[in-house]
Amino acid sequence: MSEAVKVPTMAEYMAEGKMPEVLFWVGCAGSFDDRAKKITKAFVKLLHSSKVDFAVLGTEESCTGDPAKRSGNEFLFQMQAVTNIEVMNAYEIKKVVTACPHCFNTLKNEYPSLGGNYEVMHHTQFLKSLLDDGRLTVEGGKFKGKRITFHDPCYLGRANNVYEAPRELLQKLEVELTEMKRSRRNGLCCGAGGAQMFKEPEPGNKDVNIERTEDALETKPDIIAAGCPFCNTMMTDGVKNKEKEDSIEVLDVAELIANAQDL
Amino acid sequence: MQYIPNIIFVIILIAGIGYFTKNVRKLIRNIKLGKDVDRTDNKKERFNNMARIALGQSKMVRRPIAGILHIIVYLGFIIINIEVLEIIIDGILGTHRIFAFLGGLYDFLIGSFEVLALLVLVSVFIFWIRRNVINIRRFKTLKGWPKNDGNIILYFEVVLMTLFLTMNAADLQLQNIGADHYAKAGAYPISQFISPLFNGMSEGSLVLLERGAWWLHIIGILIFLNYLYFSKHLHILLAFPNTYYGDLNPKGQMDNLKAVTDEVMLMMDPNADPFAAPAGDEPEAEPEKFGASDVTDLNWVQLLNSYTCTECGRCTSECPANQTGKKLSPRKIMMDTRDRLQEVGDNIDKNGSFVDDGKQLLNDYITTEELWACTSCNACVEACPVSISPLSIILDMRRYLVMEQSAAPMDLNNMMSNIENNGAPWPFNQMDRLNWSQE
């Protein structure tokens, strides 16, 4: 994390009278959470190495409103949405990519009826399309032969039926991809969704992330792959709770691809 | 005198269907207590969903044991109803096995009904074991009326199928001894093994047995029909409209409240007059209530959902909150909604229109602890075999708590004021949003 990366902003692009190929929506976790910032950087490195012409909104980006909406604060959500839409429409944004399934779902499904119509992709879908176009190479490198299990983020999987893109990328890493007993549409939540990330859980006999981490540990993985900064936090905490942090890493799909190439 | 049975039959039939119709009208009235929501779009996709999910049982078989057994009982129910048609015509006209003229086809039909009846008996037996003997959590957690209701339906099936087979066995015996009115017709692959039990019975006793089983069978069916309204078993009818009117959007998409959009757009409009008075002499409109605290704040599809729920508990068994010991159970959300709706409906029946009973869905049925345990992961929605969304009710009730009562948990209030003040759920300055690139 000690190196600066070059990240152009939409404002800079506009000043030069140019339009990027895609807007990278970083999201709050990707901008502020120390763990998630590493994912953001890994994804930016992949964008650079694939020669993708991209920009971010930088200080003009604001929360999509997802946690407010799931909490029931429709008012705050729509205020956020309308403000973000005004910014994006002013820049005439057509295509958006984000590494957060919550931002992805909100931008893709809940912004259109408020006037924000964009082609929205999750970063695993975007990386898959780069791979298909021959712009990105994915090879095993140091992960070759490792046992990896992928945890489906609810807002990518069940919410939007994206199950294959992250798995196809992982397979390219020449790893041993193993499935948990509950996966794809039956995948168990990590416990963070619906704004649970920001509150203490209600009384119960177990935390959801522990239940899910146990699913993952059953597959005896070397690495738990995630596609969501919040799932990443929850699974990392779960692995620590089970005192397995020395033998099992929790990594985002983008980090796996970038690290494999030593980017 | 010879028409007395026909007349009695018609009276029973009219009474049975009449009472059922009365309750169906009540059901429709109750569902219409919900708010309007437009589900008239994409007719083709809706028909496909209904054909696939309700008629084709596509989501039932995701749990193969329960799914396949259910398909047998469901097919039995639908196909044996062709026999009910014959019974009704015979009853009205005083004929016996009026479809017998179909010959070979008739033999085939009666033969398949019998095989299905046996399969239904076997399936129902396994269902009973699953509900009462094997330790299956989603059934074990049912107590009181919902538990009894599930078993009563199974007993109904056993009685109806047994009567059907007894009727055929006695009929076969009568055909074999060449009794009047009992011409050779039909094939009896199952009841031929019951028939020998009646060897040596007089023709009179056999006719009594056959007629007795015939009458009890049709009366049983009419009672069953009328039992539906009081039971979780309404799903055999409502699964069809419920899958038709289901939400077609991606599961992650939650509706944007129109009333809120109007307010937000007004706030964002630089030309809006902040001091605008209502036009002309129009009285000031009642501000719209945000979210749901009672069943009448929900939309009619959510209310239809509650009547369609057959309490199978697949939603609850998939719910991450429930699995980790939280109070939330999506099945209970649906059962509470229906119970409260029924209470509101009864109130209207009694008083002509709804009289405040000091109760509501929130707190009196569903507690805030349940609502705040939800992770909005959609596992319940995915699990439901008939396209019910408990999540949409949970969200609407959270909306009421937050927007009408400001009653969110403290942590969430902090998160929301962070978003309001600095555009992120954590207290970081928006101006620092790109700092990560330099770290």
pLDDT tens digits, residue range B6-62?
Answer: 999 999 999 999 999 999 999 999 999 999 999 999 999 999 999 999 999 999 999
CA distance A126 to A99: 10
Q: Which two tokens stand for residue A132?
A: 């298909």
Chain A within 8 Å of B269 (Cβ-Cβ)?
Answer: no
Q: Say whether residue A80 is in contact with chain B using an 8 A CB cutoff.
A: yes
CATH architecture of A137-260: 3-Layer(aba) Sandwich (3.40)
| Each residue's pLDDT tens digit, B402-425 | 999 999 999 999 999 999 999 999
Please name every residue paired with A176 in a beta bridge, in sequence order, or none if there are none. A147
pLDDT band at A5 (very low <50, low <70, confident <90, very high): confident
Confidence (pLDDT) at B180: 85
Pairing of strands A147-150, A223-226: parallel
Measured between alpha carbons, how far is B239 from A210 in angstroms, rounded to an integer? 36
Give exposure, B406-427, as e/b (b: 16+ Cβ within 10 Å).
eebbebbbbbbebbeebbbbbe
Q: Identify the residue whose tokens are 């009642």.
A: B286
Domain A10-131 belongs in CATH node 3.40.50 = yes
Contact B399, B291 (CB under 8 A): yes
With a cut of 60, say whether residue A1 has pLDDT above it. no
Residue numbers of A between 200 and 259 with CB closer than 8 Å to B: 200-208, 210-212
Contact B251 A75 (CB under 8 A): no
The ipTM estimated for the assembled molecules is 0.96
Shortest Cα–Cα distance, B149 to chain A (Å): 29
Of A67, A161, A185, the CB nearest to B415: A67
**Partner residue opposite B416 with nearest CB, options A41, A73, A205:** A73
pLDDT of residue A2: 57
B-chain residues near A35 (CB < 8 A): none
Rounded Cα–Cα distance for residues B219 and B168 (Å):
17
| Statement: residue A260 has pLDDT above 70 | yes
Instruction: Dig out the tokens for B8 from the structure.
Output: 């009695």
**Number of CB pairs < 8 Å for A and B?**
227
Sequence ranges of the domains in chain A: 10-131, 137-260
pLDDT tier at B278 (50, 70, 90 boundaries)? low
How far is Cα A24 from Cα A95, in angstroms, rounded to an integer? 9
Q: Quick check: B439 and A76 CB within 8 A?
A: no
The predicted-structure confidence for A112-169, as pLDDT tens digits, reads as follows: 999 999 999 999 999 999 999 999 999 888 899 999 999 999 999 999 999 999 999 9
pLDDT of residue A49: 95
- Residue B128 pLDDT: 97
Cβ separation A68–B375 shorter than 8 A: no
Q: What is the pLDDT of residue B283?
A: 67
Alpha carbons B26 and B23: distance in angstroms, whole number: 5
B375/A202 CB distance under 8 A: no
- Residues ≥6 apart with Cβ < 8 Å to B414: A198
Q: Where are the beta strands (DSSP E) in A146-246?
A: 147-150, 176-178, 223-226
Summarised one tens digit per residue, pLDDT across range B223-247 is 999 999 999 999 999 999 999 999 9
Q: What are the two backbone dihedrals, phi and then psi, of residue A159, each rounded to the nearest 5 degrees? A: -70, -30
User: Which of the four pLDDT bands, split at 50, 70 and 90, describes residue A262?
Assistant: confident
Q: Are strands A54-55 and A223-226 parallel, antiparallel or unpaired?
A: unpaired
pLDDT digits over A197-245, tens only? 999 999 999 999 999 999 999 999 999 999 999 999 999 999 999 999 9
DSSP characters over A142-154: GGTT-EEEEPPPT
Dist. CA B181–CA B161, nearest whole Å: 24
What is the band of A261 on the pLDDT scale with cuts at 50, 70, 90? confident
Interface test with A, best of B317, B370, B376 (most A CBs within 10 A): B376
CB contact under 8 A, B250 and A109: yes
pLDDT at B280 over 80: no
Question: In a mutagenesis test of the A interface, which of B368, B372, B437, B438 is the best target, namely the one with the most A β-carbons within 10 Å?
Answer: B437
What's the fold here for domain B258-269+288-422? Fumarate Reductase Iron-sulfur Protein; Chain B, domain 2 (1.10.1060)
> Would the pLDDT of B206 be above 70?
yes
CA distance A31 to chain B (A): 6
Tell me the pLDDT band of B279, cut-offs 50, 70 and 90. low
Q: CB distance from A69 to chain B under 8 Å? A: yes
**Nearest 5°: phi and psi at A173?**
-80, 5
Chain A residues 129-158 with CB within 8 Å of chain B: 154-155, 158
CA distance B77 to B97: 20
Nearest by CB: A72 against B377, B401, B423 = B401
